[in-house]
Structure formats: structure tokens, C-alpha cells
Amino acid sequence: MSYTSLGYMLFVACCLIFYYIFPKKHRWWVLLAASIGFYAIVCLKYISFVFVTAASTYAGGRILEAYANKHKAYIKSLYKAKVSRRKKWITAAILLLNFGILGFLKYYNFFADALNVLLNPLGGGLPELGLFLPLGISFYTFQTMSYTIDVYRNDAKVQKNIINLAAYVTMFPQLIAGPIVR
């Protein structure tokens, strides 16, 4: 859906109306619903990847926060390196999951085709899944990556509300704008 299409402009107009009708404390819900609606219009088939990425990032941030709070006394003591190593492993696991989803969707078809060409005389190979990239997957993967790293470095507070984090990750105007944001 293009920014200049009539359908997109009507969609944004409806979103703005609902956004300003609802009380301030419920506006995050409107933003999330609008983003989910946008994904449903564009590509309902792969919307689950957005939710898995948002949920894993939320859970990972909460685990990092819980781990840091539990070990605050250790962080100030001699065991800082051990605690830091564990935080790195937790952060790496979150990032690997999210990048794993991106890498699988982006490169599976390429590697399956290449392997099937090599193994064709032998009658082996990988099944073709016919995957395509969901709208904005690279963008929201990098959004979640920056959030996770900021939480790891204590540059950002952990988001305690999954609705706010999901709305941040799925915000539809950013998804089609491109990966460069401030």
C-alpha cells in the first residue's frame, strides 16, 4: 500500500479519528489495532511473525530487568563480570531468536534452491516453502534489536506494558517509511 494511495489516506484518516475519540490512556490500543489492521490488509498470512518478535522482545526485556534487579548487590561487588556475562547471554538469545526469524524468511528459499540444484541428480534436497518477506520485517527486527540493546546497556527502561511495546514495534507508518529512524 502506497503512501499516496486513496486507500492509505482513508485508513490514516480513520485511525486519526479513532485516536482522538478515545481517552489518552487507551490510545496505545488504537495505535496497536490500527497497525494490526494495516498488516491484516497488506498480508494477514505473516502477521504472526510480528507478534512473535514483539512478544519475545517484551519477555526478553522483562527477563533482563528481573535478572538485573535480582543481582544488584552482585553487580556492585566482585561478581560483576559473571553477571555481565549472563546478561550478554540473555541478550544474545533474544537477538538470535529475532534475527533467526528474519534470516529464515529472507534466505530459506535461496539456500533451498541452491541445495536442490546441487542435489538434484541425487534426488534429495529441501522442500520449497514458497516464503516471501512480510512487510517491514527488517525494520521491526532492527527496532526490537535496538530496544533490546538499549535495555541491556541500561540506556532505556524496560517497557512494562506489552501493548505499548507492540504498538512501538508495529507502528504502521514507520514500517513502510524505511529502516532509518531516530
Handedness of CA 144, 149, 152, 154 (dihedral sign): negative
The CA distance from 3 to 6, in Å, is 8
Q: Which residue has the cell 512494562?
A: 160
Rounded to the nearest 10°, the torsion over CA 98, 100, 102, 107 is: 170
pLDDT per position in the chain (182 positions), as tens? 666 778 888 988 999 999 999 999 888 899 889 988 888 887 777 788 888 888 999 999 998 888 776 655 555 554 555 557 778 888 999 999 989 988 888 888 888 887 777 777 666 667 777 777 777 788 888 888 888 988 888 888 899 999 888 888 888 777 666 555 55
Longest dimension (CA), the chain: 64
Find out whether 1 and 7 touch, Cβ atoms under 8 Å. yes
Handedness of CA 62, 64, 68, 70 (dihedral sign): positive
Indicate the residue type of 124: G
